[in-house]
Amino acid sequence: MTAYQEAREALVSILAKDCKIDVTTISDENRLQDDLGLDSITLLSLALEAENFLGCPLEEDPENPPLTVRALVELVAIRLEEQRDVA
């Protein structure tokens, strides 16, 4: 399984379980706020759960946060690859 696939699987699970999003409606093109309806509290919860999954901070750019499912998956995949490189 690639880092991207692992990250996507984890994030879809988090979106379904913690954010109460129907998995059948989640696509990589979905915008987290506009399409999935996540508010600031839910976005924070999503980020914290993603960090728990990773075991490290996301370190997203506060001036340019991920706005879509794909952007968030790519960020998590990068962090996963960084962890594997260190190990």
Q: What pLDDT shows up at residue 87?
A: 65
Q: What pLDDT shows up at residue 68?
A: 97
Q: What pLDDT shows up at residue 72?
A: 96
Structural domains of the chain, ranges and CATH numbers in brackets: 3-86 (1.10.1200.10)
Its pTM stands at 0.92
- Give Cα separations from 85 to 10, 59, 79, 81, 82 (angstroms): 20, 17, 10, 6, 5
The predicted-structure confidence for 33-62, as pLDDT tens digits, reads as follows 999 999 999 999 999 999 999 888 888 888
- Residue 22 to residue 12: CA distance in whole angstroms: 9
